[in-house]
């Protein structure tokens, strides 16, 4: 992982030789990891995003630097992905624990960035990520709040599955204990619509708050790749971010090995 290449790609410049030396000394000899963070409003000021990210990730480990770039398509907005270099033992695991957490009113989608890859491997990695992003299993769904959060996760899941079973085929259920909400996905759009009608109904004496979950279909980027104002990252990407990093890394490793053999 070439930190200086990352800095230069982001247009970062050190104010002086002393500043560059201070950064080098700070990073020298320490384990480090590069993560990317998405979810912020790209219309915000670059300095505001940097401050929010530094304050948030300082809670778990030492922040080496934060890179917030301008959109590569000459848009006046910021690029939708910021990069953070974290230092210290266990930085990767600590960073992933902050995936899906709130930062000033927006949820952070945290991903560990791989070491520099060749173009073909990078395209393959992107294709695997897009495959998870666009999985039809997560096209239609609702988020549910208001149930008894003191119950065990398996009890919450079984009670809500039973309550929403008449809506149609349930493809996936995720109980988010941190956010105290459960996402329930359905095979078809009309089943999602039926689930929304259960807003205000009760489970175990608790009134449910049922809303449409953020999905890949609910708000798409523009055709030129620009992220529209108010864009929300599909909810299932927060759930699978850590698992995706591990599985995609392994698939890319196998891909590289097979290609070298050929």
Task: Spell out the per-residue pLDDT of the chain, length 262, in tens.
Answer: 444 455 444 444 444 455 555 555 555 556 778 888 988 888 888 888 888 999 999 888 888 888 887 765 555 677 788 888 888 888 888 888 888 888 888 888 898 876 666 667 777 777 877 888 889 999 999 999 999 999 999 999 999 999 999 999 999 999 988 889 999 999 999 999 999 999 999 999 999 999 999 898 876 655 555 555 666 778 888 877 766 666 777 777 777 677 664 4
Quickly count: other Cβ atoms within 10 Å of residue 171's Cβ.
Answer: 18
With both helix axes pointing from N to C terminus, report the angle between 235-261 and 119-133 in degrees, rounded to the nearest 10: 150
Domain spanning 136-212: which CATH class is it, in words?
A: alpha beta
- Say what the alpha-carbon torsion angle 58, 61, 62, 67 is, to the nearest 10 degrees: -70
pTM over cut 0.85: no
Q: What is the DSSP string of 66-113?
A: EE-PBPTT--SSBPSEEEEEEESTTHHHHHHTTTT-EETTEE-EEEEP
pLDDT at 13: 46
Quick one: which of 185, 191, 148, 146 has its CA closest to 168?
191
Tokens of 204: 């175990």
pLDDT at 22: 55
Compute φ and ψ for 192, nearest 5 degrees: -60, -45
Alpha helices, DSSP H only, in the chain? 3-9, 17-27, 46-57, 91-96, 119-133, 153-164, 189-196, 235-261
**3-state DSSP call for residue 29?**
coil
Sheet holding 181-186, edge to edge: 170-176, 181-186, 140-145, 209-212
For tokens 């998405």, what's the residue? 38
What residue ranges do the domains of the chain occupy? 3-117, 136-212
Kindly list the distances between the CA atom of residue 17 and the CA atoms of 10, 13, 243, in Å, as whole numbers in the listed order. Answer: 19, 10, 40
pLDDT at 21: 52
pLDDT at 172: 95
Q: Which CATH architecture has domain 3-117?
A: 2-Layer Sandwich (3.30)
**3-state DSSP call for residue 186?**
strand
Spatial CB neighbours of 13, under 8 Å, sequence gap ≥ 6: none
């Amino acid at each position: 992982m070439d930190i200086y290449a990352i800095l230069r790609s982001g247009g970062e410049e050190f104010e002086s030789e002393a500043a560059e030396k201070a950064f080098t000394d700070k990073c020298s000899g320490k384990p480090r990891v590069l993560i990317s963070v998405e979810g912020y409003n790209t219309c915000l000021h670059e300095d505001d995003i940097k401050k929010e990210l530094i304050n948030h990730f300082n809670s778990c480990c030492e922040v080496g630097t934060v890179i917030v770039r301008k959109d590569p398509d000459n848009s006046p907005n910021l690029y939708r992905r910021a990069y953070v270099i974290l230092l210290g033992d266990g930085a990767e695991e600590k960073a992933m624990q902050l995936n899906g957490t709130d930062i000033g009113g927006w949820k952070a989608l945290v991903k560990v960035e791989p070491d520099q890859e060749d173009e073909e491997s990078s395209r393959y990695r992107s294709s695997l990520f897009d495959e998870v992003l666009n999985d039809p299993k997560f096209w239609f769904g609702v988020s549910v709040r208001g149930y008894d959060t003191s119950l065990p996760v398996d009890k919450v899941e079984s009670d809500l599955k039973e309550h929403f079973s008449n809506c149609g085929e349930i493809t996936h259920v995720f109980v988010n204990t941190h956010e105290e909400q459960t996402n329930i996905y359905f095979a078809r759009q009309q089943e999602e619509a039926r689930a929304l009608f259960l807003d205000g109904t009760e489970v175990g004496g608790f009134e449910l708050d049922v809303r449409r979950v953020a999905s890949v279909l609910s708000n798409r980027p523009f055709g030129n790749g620009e992220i529209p104002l108010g864009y929300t990252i599909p909810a299932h990407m927060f759930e699978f971010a850590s698992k995706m990093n591990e599985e995609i890394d392994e698939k890319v490793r196998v891909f590289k090995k097979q290609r070298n053999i050929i």
